[in-house]
Amino acid sequence: MLSSTKIRILFWVVKKDRDVNVVDIAKFFLSTGSVTNLKLQKLIYFAHATYLDITGESLFPEKIIGYKYCPVIVEVYQLYKGYRKETIEDEDLGFN
């Protein structure tokens, strides 16, 4: 489960390492549990919005595009689109 502590850790890492990109953020969320591509897009979007609100800075340099069901970051969508509506398991990504 994703906790506010984990989000604070993510924001701290981003603040220290400005070379973080959206794929790094996606991998962070995937390391916290299995999610679908749609949920992953939403988590990244909400993290970006929260970080922007707190710091006034963008969480990552990639652009967010408005799609029918949620905001989409094309780089993440392309990376995980093969999962379709299935969950993306962390063992599929070599985290274990």
* pLDDT tens per residue across span 33-92: 889 999 999 999 998 998 898 889 888 889 999 988 889 999 999 999 999 899 997 655
> What are the structure tokens assigned to 42, written together?
């939403």
- Total Cβ atoms within 10 A of residue 44: 25
CA distance 35 to 40: 6
pTM (predicted TM-score): 0.80
- Report yes or no on 47 lying in a domain: yes
CA distance 75 to 53: 23
Q: How many domains does the chain have?
A: 1
Find the domain containing 57 and state its range.
4-86
- Check whether 95 has a pLDDT greater than 70: no
- Report yes or no on 96 lying in a domain: no
- Report yes or no on 44 lying in a domain: yes
What values do phi and psi take at 12, rounded to 5? -65, -45
List, as one string, the DSSP characters of the chain: ---HHHHHHHHHHHHH-TT--HHHHHHHHHHTS-B-HHHHHHHHHHHHHHHHHHHSS-S-SS--EE-SSSEE-HHHHHHHGGGTTS-B-GGGGT--
- Report yes or no on 95 lying in a domain: no
- Report yes or no on 91 lying in a domain: no
- Banded pLDDT at 23 (limits 50, 70, 90): very high
